[in-house]
């Protein structure tokens, strides 16, 4: 079975889906890997590295004509049209908000596995690209924030006096938030955390953070570890509860995302006006609309003396580690789906059932069958 690895063409993308280290493991398991020329240059992997690992350097056309194409971002429609009928696409698809891509895969009669749809179960942990990338993003968010601040994180006692530790406020105690807590604590900051899920309190405190409690209500909808919905009324209560901490914060990190929907607004311009000059906000949800009203994608905005960092691809700022983890996730996923280099197509398997969106042009997931009326989507 030939696995094709194209060069990522999305703006600000530096990662690659398969690294030379993982190429060796694929070939050891009976796969042939075709890598597009210069696919790994953004992650400091040369074509020579891939060749030494056993890969074949190929054209973009040859890569997309492979039996399996694996990449990080959703493919371009023109690239989908190159794929052969019956081949398999494995990538982040975000299918609910990408109906034209779903329609293109259906028309091309290919099978698609969406990496963002892998269920968050114990068995699937080693395949969970969202978690592996969020872990790195949480770390980098703290480092970015620290580089923008005009002060240090830890308490420092000097002959000239004592420097007080910085205050960091983190919204969300998911994978990214927990890594941000751990990183900020290691750097010596006082860390306060807000999350709408009360069960995260214990995790926050185990990392040395202090939990800001807000009483939940019936509007909070959880599914598979994700927050699927929350009312405006609850968000208002949350804003009121954290306002005092945010007003005193040196760094605020927001991580709140709702899959398939615009990110919830957490820091309004009104709240921003109560923050102190010199503070920094890192909006990790900026690529989905942002948790901060004034954040802008891939820009750092200065407003009222506050720096608002809107880096849209934090894992991409750590491309070596991010690519290695992503590639390992993909390897584990492929080995789970196949046997003797052939797909098992086991729909009784929870991981297959959750992540297989389309099989040979047939949509399998009910939630996709009416995505913006696929039959009405114009691909021209």
Token couple for 164 = 């007080």
- Residues 353, 321, 142, 278: is their CA dihedral positive or negative? negative
Could you give the count of Cα atoms lying within 13 Å of 172 in the half-sphere of its Cβ?
28
Pairwise CA distance, residues 38 & 196, whole Å: 43
Tracing tokens 């890997």 back to the chain, one arrives at 33
Buried b (16+ CB within 10 A) or exposed e, 244-265: ebbeebbbbbbbbbbbbeebbb
Whole-Å CA distances, 256 to 123, 148, 237, 307: 25, 22, 16, 19
What is the phi-psi region of residue 168: left when phi exceeds 0, alpha when psi lies from -120 to 50, beta otherwise? beta
Whole-Å CA distances, 376 to 123, 372, 373, 379, 380: 38, 8, 6, 9, 12
User: Is 324 within 8 Å of 24 (Cβ atoms)?
Assistant: no
DSSP 8-state assignment for residue 84: P
Q: Residues with catalytic annotation?
A: 120, 125, 128, 131, 226
DSSP 8-state assignment for residue 25: H
Instruction: Collapse the DSSP code of 91 into the 3-class scheme (helix H, G, I; strand E, B; otherwise coil) and give the result.
Output: strand
Instruction: Collapse the DSSP code of 372 into the 3-class scheme (helix H, G, I; strand E, B; otherwise coil) and give the result.
Output: coil
β-pair partners for 192: 169, 210
């Amino acid at each position: 079975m030939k696995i094709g690895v194209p060069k990522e063409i999305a703006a600000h993308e530096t990662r690659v889906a398969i690294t030379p280290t993982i190429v060796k493991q694929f070939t050891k398991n009976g796969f042939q890997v075709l890598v597009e020329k210069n696919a790994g240059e953004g992650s400091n992997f040369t074509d020579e590295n891939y060749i030494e690992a056993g890969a074949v350097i190929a054209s973009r056309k040859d890569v997309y004509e492979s039996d399996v194409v694996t990449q990080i971002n959703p493919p371009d429609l023109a690239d989908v049209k190159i794929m052969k009928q019956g081949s398999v696409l494995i990538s982040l698809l975000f299918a609910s908000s990408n109906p034209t891509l779903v329609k293109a895969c259906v028309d091309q009669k290919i099978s698609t596995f969406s990496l963002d749809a892998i269920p968050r179960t114990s068995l699937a942990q080693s395949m969970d690209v969202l978690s592996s990338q969020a872990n790195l993003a949480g770390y980098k968010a703290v480092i970015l924030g620290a580089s923008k601040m005009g002060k240090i994180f830890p308490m420092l006692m000097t002959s000239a006096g004592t420097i007080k530790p910085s205050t960091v406020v983190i919204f969300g105690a998911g994978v990214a938030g927990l890594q941000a807590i751990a990183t900020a604590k290691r750097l010596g900051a006082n860390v306060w955390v807000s999350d709408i899920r009360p069960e995260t309190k214990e995790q926050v405190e185990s990392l040395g953070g202090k939990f800001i409690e807000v009483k939940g209500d019936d509007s909070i909808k959880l599914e598979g570890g994700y927050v699927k919905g929350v009312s405006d009324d609850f968000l208002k209560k949350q804003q009121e509860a954290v306002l005092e901490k945010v007003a005193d914060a040196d760094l605020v990190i927001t991580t709140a995302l709702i899959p398939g929907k615009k990110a919830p607004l957490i820091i309004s311009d009104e709240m921003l006006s109560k923050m102190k000059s010199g503070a920094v906000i890192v909006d990790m949800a900026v690529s989905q609309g942002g948790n901060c009203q004034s954040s802008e994608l891939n820009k750092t905005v200065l407003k009222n003396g506050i720096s608002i960092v809107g880096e849209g691809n934090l894992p991409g700022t750590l491309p070596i580690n991010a690519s290695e983890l992503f590639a390992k996730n993909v390897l584990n996923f492929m080995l789970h789906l196949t046997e003797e280099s052939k797909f098992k197509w086991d729909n009784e398997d929870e991981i297959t059932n959750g992540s297989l969106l389309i099989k040979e042009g047939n949509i399998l997931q009910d939630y996709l069958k009416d995505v913006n009326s696929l039959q009405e989507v114009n691909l021209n």
